[in-house]
Amino acid sequence: MLNVPPQAFPAPSSQQRVAVGGRAKVPLKPGRSLMDWIRLTKSGKDLTGLKGRLIEVTEDELAKHNKKEDCWICIRGFVYNVTPYMEYHPGGEDELMKAAGADGTDLFDQVHRWVNYESMLKECLVGRMAVKPIAAPKGMLPEKKVLGASAKDLTPSYDWFQTDSLITIVIYTKQKDMNAELVIVDCQDKRLRGEIIVDNDSYLVELDLDHAVQEDLAVNIAEKVGKVEIILKKKDNIHWKMLGEPLESHSTFIKRTDRGLFYRKCKLISKTEVTHDTKLFCLMLPKSTHLRVPTGHHVYLKQIIAGTEVVKPYTPVLPFLSLDFKEPSCHDGIHIYLMIKIYSCGLFTQALDHLHIGDYISVSNPEGSFKKSQVQTSEDLFLLAAGTGFTPMVKLLNFALTEVSCLRTVKLIFFNKTEDDILWRNQLEQLALVDERFEVQFILSQPTKDWVGKQGKISSSLLSEFVKRSRKESKVLICICGPTPFTEQGVQYLKVLGYSQEEIHTFTA
Ligand code: FAD
Ligand code: NAP
Question: pLDDT tens digit string along 24-37?
Answer: 567 788 888 888 88
CA–CA dist 289, 306 (Å, integer): 28
The predicted structure's pLDDT at residue 325? 57
- Cα distance between residue 408 and residue 230, in whole Å: 40
ω into residue 137 within 30 of 0, thus cis?
Answer: no
Residue 151: pLDDT band (50, 70, 90) is: very low
Q: Is the pLDDT reported for residue 265 higher than 90?
A: yes
Share of the chain above pLDDT 90, in %: 65
- What pLDDT score was predicted for residue 92? 85
* Pairing assessment for the beta strands 289-290 and 380-386 based on DSSP bridges: unpaired
- 3-class secondary structure for 286-337? CCCEECCCCCCCEEEEEEEECCEEEEEEECEECCCCCCCCCCHHHHCCCEEE
**Three-class DSSP labels, 189-233:** CCEEEEEEEECCEEEEEEEEECCCEEEEEEEEEECCCCEEEEEEE
> What mean pLDDT do residues 52-69 have?
89
- Which positions ≥6 away from 54 have C-beta within 8 Å? 125, 126, 127, 128
CB of 125 within 6 A of ligand 1: the answer is: no
Q: What is the pLDDT of residues 431-460, one digit of tens each?
A: 999 999 999 999 999 999 999 999 999 999
Residues with CB under 6 A from ligand 2: 13-15, 298, 315, 341, 386-389, 391-392, 415-417, 421, 445-446, 457-458, 481-483, 485-486, 489, 507-509
Global pTM? Answer: 0.82
Question: By C-alpha distance, which of 77, 122, 73 is closest to 98?
Answer: 73
Regarding the beta carbon of 351 and ligand 1, being less than 6 Å apart is answered no
Q: How many of the other CB atoms lie within 10 Å of CB of 22?
A: 11
For the segment 93-121, the average pLDDT, to the nearest whole number, is 85
Which residue lies with its CA nearest to atom 43 of ligand 2?
A: 389
Strand partners, 290: 185
148 has pLDDT over 60 = no
> Nearest bound ligand to CA 4?
1
